[in-house]
């Protein structure tokens, strides 16, 4: 994988120019993407290299993969659907404009599942191409894991940043809700859609977002003696595979041995109810957001998307409002959890990436935190006996993104290249 911080350091030392750094990304993509399928569209190489050569700013020399639900004025934006094949926006999405203004270049548009929902795309997992990379930010996670680009942008409405990051063995960061703009992105659920980021390691993703936003988000040293970590198994703990349970317990054990205080945290009933409410709230909003596509191109939608939109259309405003009330209660209850702990540790997924491309996996351990809007980080480093990644999720109080990133970075260093179980024969 290409490290964002290593690239910046090499540029600052004069070992490579911004143009050379970006050229390396184009070369890597040309060599690897035929097998992985992370990119839907690549930017014009020479035009992009010329832009990198002229770029200035804190992200000069950084090539970024952008999920193909964000508008780009110079490349098609197709939302993972043939309905919008060849769509050419007139302007960049806000977050794309931010990238360019800080000196980064867009290497290309990464593959998304259909309208960033459940229908799998053809992207393969770089850790084992026989396995899914997760979704819906399939291409973004795979592009970073394969070393094509140091940074990629995705989105999360259920688990579409944290889960692919866990499956592909990279750092994934879902910020606090609305910390980053979604203007110019295809809406699925306006109460849930959140921009997120992928990088090789936690320090990389934190430093990138700090430079992108100007916010104090770069990781800072953690004093384990004053750190309170909540082991949050959730009411769905048994849905985690044994290896996934062991990964979370390993991370907790190492944190405790390093001096952190470990607290077992039970899931309040309000949070269990909110997790159950996520789908109905999401589908009600999606039915409105994709009304044009449903009304005019229904036969071109996947069965799974069409069925969920139909369920959303059958939801009454009164039922939707009740789900919104459940979500508000859950946000208050989540805030109360952090009266006794600084961060929570949970599974990032139910287990390692499933074999095959017929499913992108389950978001069951992610969607609650998308609903509550808390910052979440996938911590890479642990693998199962076959070498497939097992992600651990760190989350913090709403708005405490730097705390979540710093603890995740500290934990990544503790874990190193840990492996669960004995090598399979």
Whole-model pTM: value is: 0.97
Do 229 and 207 touch, CB atoms closer than 8 A? no
Q: What is the pLDDT of residues 18-32, one digit of tens each?
A: 999 999 999 999 999
For the chain, the average pLDDT equals 97
Helices (H), 361-400: 367-372
Report whether 213 contacts 245 (CB < 8 A).
Answer: no
SS3 of 27, please? helix
Q: Per residue in 145-176, pLDDT tens? A: 999 999 999 999 999 999 999 999 999 999 99
- pLDDT category at 361 given cuts 50, 70, 90 is very high
- pLDDT surpassing 90 at residue 376: yes
Q: Could you give the C-alpha distances from 88 to 76, 209, 235, 382, in angstroms and in order?
A: 5, 27, 45, 41
Summarised one tens digit per residue, pLDDT across range 185-202 is: 999 999 999 999 999 999
What three-state secondary structure class fits 98?
helix
Cα–Cα distances (Å) from 336 to 12, 104, 270, 274, in that order, read 44, 39, 12, 15
**Tens digit of pLDDT for each residue in 232-279?**
999 999 999 999 999 999 999 999 999 999 999 999 999 999 999 999
C-alpha closest to that of 184 among 66, 44, 297, 61:
66
Rounded to whole angstroms, the Cα distance separating 382 from 312 reads: 38
Taking the C-alpha atoms of residue 313 and residue 326, their distance in angstroms, rounded to an integer, is 20
Going by C-alpha positions, the residue among 149, 173, 151 that lies closest to residue 406 is 173
Q: Which residues partner with 263 through β-bridges?
A: 230
The answer regarding whether domain 4-213 maps to CATH 3.40.50.300 reads no
pLDDT digits (tens, 9 = 90+) for 65-81: 999 999 999 999 999 99
Tokens 């705390």 belong to: 403
Architecture of the structural domain at 224-266+335-415? 3-Layer(aba) Sandwich (3.40)
Please report where in the chains the tokens 């390691």 appear, as a residue: 201
Helix axes 94-101, 202-213, angle to 10 degrees: 90
* Overall average pLDDT of the 73-100 stretch: 98
DSSP helix/strand/coil, 49 = helix
Band (421; pLDDT cuts 50, 70, 90): confident
The pLDDT of residue 317 is 98
Domain boundaries of the chain, sorted by first residue: 4-213, 224-266+335-415, 270-331
pLDDT band at residue 423, thresholds of 50, 70 and 90?
Answer: very low
Percent of the chain at pLDDT > 70 equals: 99
Separation between Cα atoms, residue 360 and residue 367, nearest integer Å: 14
């Amino acid at each position: 994988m290409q490290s964002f911080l290593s690239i910046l350091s090499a540029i600052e030392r004069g070992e490579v120019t911004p143009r050379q750094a970006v050229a390396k990304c184009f070369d890597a993509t040309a060599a690897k993407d035929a097998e992985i399928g992370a990119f839907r569209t690549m930017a014009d190489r020479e035009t992009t290299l010329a832009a990198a050569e002229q770029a200035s700013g804190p992200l000069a020399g950084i090539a970024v993969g952008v999920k193909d639900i964000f508008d780009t004025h110079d490349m098609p934006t197709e939302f993972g659907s043939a309905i919008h094949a060849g769509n050419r926006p007139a302007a960049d999405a806000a977050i794309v404009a931010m990238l360019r203004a800080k000196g980064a270049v867009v290497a290309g548009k990464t593959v998304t599942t259909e309208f960033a929902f459940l229908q799998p795309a053809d992207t393969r997992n770089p850790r084992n191409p026989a396995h899914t990379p997760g979704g819906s930010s399939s291409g973004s996670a795979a592009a970073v894991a394969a070393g094509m680009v140091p940074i990629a942008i995705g989105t999360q409405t259920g688990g579409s940043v944290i889960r692919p990051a866990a499956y592909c063995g990279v750092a994934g960061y879902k910020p606090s809700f609305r910390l980053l703009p979604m203007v110019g992105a295809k809406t699925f659920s306006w109460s849930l859609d959140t921009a997120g980021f992928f990088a090789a390691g936690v320090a990389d993703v934190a430093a990138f977002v700090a430079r992108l936003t100007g916010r104090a988000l770069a990781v800072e040293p953690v004093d384990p003696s004053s750190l309170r970590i909540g082991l949050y198994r959730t009411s769905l703990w048994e849905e985690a595979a044994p290896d996934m349970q062991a990964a979370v317990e390993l991370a907790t054990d190492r944190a405790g041995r390093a001096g952190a205080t470990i607290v077992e945290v039970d899931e309040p009933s309000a949070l269990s109810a909110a997790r159950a409410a996520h789908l109905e709230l999401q589908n009600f909003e999606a039915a409105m957001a994709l009304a044009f596509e449903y009304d005019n191109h229904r036969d071109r939608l996947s069965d799974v998307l069409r069925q969920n939109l139909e369920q959303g259309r059958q939801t009454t405003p009164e039922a939707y409002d009740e789900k919104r009330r459940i979500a508000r209660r859950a946000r208050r209850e989540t805030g109360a959890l952090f009266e006794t702990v600084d961060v929570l540790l949970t599974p990032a997924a139910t287990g390692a990436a499933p074999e095959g491309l017929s499913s992108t996996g389950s978001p069951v351990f992610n969607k609650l935190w998308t609903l509550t809007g808390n910052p979440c980080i996938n911590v890479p480093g642990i693998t199962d006996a076959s070498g497939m990644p097992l992600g651990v999720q760190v989350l913090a109080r709403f708005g405490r993104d730097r705390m979540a990133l710093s603890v995740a970075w500290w934990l990544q260093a503790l874990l190193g290249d840990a492996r669960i179980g004995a090598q399979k024969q």
